[in-house]
Structure formats: structure tokens, C-alpha cells
């Protein structure tokens, strides 16, 4: 093979290799593109089959939720669901119950009384600890009654008397920060007679000039005591209020 033919042969081999590589790359890109298209157009998985409840199923489930809510509101966070279901079944079917209704009522009463006493004890200790620590903070004043307050803004108006009605804005929390009532959140002030509120408020309001804003720290015996109030304020709860005295009604 002469030199010219050798050059042509090498050149032909190089061009064939280049074409083969280009074709391979093109096929690779095509496959990749097709794969992407397949991924995009892949059909979605079928939706789960709908769960159909009968009317009795729905009512039974709703009843379970209602009972659980009632139990939870009373402070019981855990039950033996098997025994709960067994008691329910025995009563509903009129079968042999393991205990009488009288025994059941006594057991429940004793249990909840003991649980409430324990919660009250914890609440009393928590309140005492909070007030003792709070009394050492700058700006906090402790009165002989045990009421504590801190002036956030000093007003210049008149001070109300026990016979007055006042208009206020307030924000009430427990010592753990839980909000239980707030005229600020409702967006409108509250009006009430000074003699018609808890003792801590009655005492504090008569010391506040109109225009003042105070933070009150109220021991349980000057608030709702052992009875508590509603679902949010438990027995022996110490309360914190930010109170702004807006006006004395009619003056």
C-alpha cells in the first residue's frame, strides 16, 4: 500500500469511529429524552378506594369521640381501651357486668376526687413558687393581701371606688403562659362593676388612676380559689393579668 492509500485508509477509519461515537451519543441522548418523556407521561397511581361508613358506623364513631373528649376534659389522658370496650359491650348487651353500677359510680368518683386533689396540690405549689420568685423582680410590688403588681404605664386620671363601674382592656394568662381570656383578642373593652369581679381585681382597680396599665399577679385565694373557673382555670390557679383602665363609666 502506497503512502497515499495508507493516509486515506487511516482517515476513513477515523471518520468511521467519529460517526460511531456521534451515533452512540445521539442514541444515548434520545434514550435519555425518551426516558424523561416516559417519566413525565407516566399515569398517576389509582386513588385509594373510598371508605364507606354506614349511618350506625358514623354515629358510633362520633359517640366514641364525644366520650373521649369528656374523659379528657376531666383530666384523664389514658384508659385501657380493651376494658373500656368490654364494659361498654357488657352493659349494651345486658350481660353479666363485673361490678354493679353503684360500685362503678363510687370507683369513678373516688378516682377523680383523688386525681383532682393531686392536681390542686401541684397547682398550689406552682403558684407559691411563681409568686416567691416574682416578688424579687424589679418593679414588682407585693401588697399585704398577697396581690402583686407591676406598673407598665402610669395614668393621670381619677381612681375608681368600690361603687364605680369601669371600662378596661385586659389579657389573662396562667403562670405557664396559657391564655384563658382576653378583651384584646376579642377587640372590644369590658365594662363591669368593681364590686363584681375577683378580689384581686377589686383591690388593684381602686389603686389605679385612669389611663394606667398594670400587670397583676393574683394568688388563687384572690382569684377563683379551689373551684376554678371553666375548663381553662383549674382549682387553686395563680393568674396573671395585664389590665388597662380606660375610664370610669359616667365620670
Beta strands (DSSP E) in 6-142 are 140-142
Contacts (Cβ under 8 Å, ≥6 apart) of 21: none
The answer to whether 173 touches 240, Cβ cutoff 8 Å, is yes
Grid cell in block for residue 115: 386525681
From 224, 233, 240, 248, the catalytic residue: 224
Among 191, 192, 168, which residue's Cα sits nearest to residue 241?
168
Q: What are phi and psi of 72, to 5 degrees?
A: -65, -40
From 71, 84, 164, 180, the catalytic residue: 180
181 an active-site residue? yes
Q: DSSP letter at 188?
A: S
Distance between terminal CA atoms of the chain? 124
From 71, 192, 198, 221, the catalytic residue: 198
The answer to whether 211 touches 234, Cβ cutoff 8 Å, is no
From 90, 164, 181, 221, the catalytic residue: 181
14 an active-site residue? no
The answer to whether 237 touches 223, Cβ cutoff 8 Å, is yes
180 an active-site residue? yes
From 130, 149, 217, 241, the catalytic residue: 241
Rounded Cα distance between 68 and 76, Å, is: 9
Rounded Cα distance between 156 and 208, Å, is: 9
130 an active-site residue? no
From 170, 194, 217, 240, the catalytic residue: 170
Residues known to be catalytic: 170, 180-181, 198, 224, 241
Amino acid at each position: 500500500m502506497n503512502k497515499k492509500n495508507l493516509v486515506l485508509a487511516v482517515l476513513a477509519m477515523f471518520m468511521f469511529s467519529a460517526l460511531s461515537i456521534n451515533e452512540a451519543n445521539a442514541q444515548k441522548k434520545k434514550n435519555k429524552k425518551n426516558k424523561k418523556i416516559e417519566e413525565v407521561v407516566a399515569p398517576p397511581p389509582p386513588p385509594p378506594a373510598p371508605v364507606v361508613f354506614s349511618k350506625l358506623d358514623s354515629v358510633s364513631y362520633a359517640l366514641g369521640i364525644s366520650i373521649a373528649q369528656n374523659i379528657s376534659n376531666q383530666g384523664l389522658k389514658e384508659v385501657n381501651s380493651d376494658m373500656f370496650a368490654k364494659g361498654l359491650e357488657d352493659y349494651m348487651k345486658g350481660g353479666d357486668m363485673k361490678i354493679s353500677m353503684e360500685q362503678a359510680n363510687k370507683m369513678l368518683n373516688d378516682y377523680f376526687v383523688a386525681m383532682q386533689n393531686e392536681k390542686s396540690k401541684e397547682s398550689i405549689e406552682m403558684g407559691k413558687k411563681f409568686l416567691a420568685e416574682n416578688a424579687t423582680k424589679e418593679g414588682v410590688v407585693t401588697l399585704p393581701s398577697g396581690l402583686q403588681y407591676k406598673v407598665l404605664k402610669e395614668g393621670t386620671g381619677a381612681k375608681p371606688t368600690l361603687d364605680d363601674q369601669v371600662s378596661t382592656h385586659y389579657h389573662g394568662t396562667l403562670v405557664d403562659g396559657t391564655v384563658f381570656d382576653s378583651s384584646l383578642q376579642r377587640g372590644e373593652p369590658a365594662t363591669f362593676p368593681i364590686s363584681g369581679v375577683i378580689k384581686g381585681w377589686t383591690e388593684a382597680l381602686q389603686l389605679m388612676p385612669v389611663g394606667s396599665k398594670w400587670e397583676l399577679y393574683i394568688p388563687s385565694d384572690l382569684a377563683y380559689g379551689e373551684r376554678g373557673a371553666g375548663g381553662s382555670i383549674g382549682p387553686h390557679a395563680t393568674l396573671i393579668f395585664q389590665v388597662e383602665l380606660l375610664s370610669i363609666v359616667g365620670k
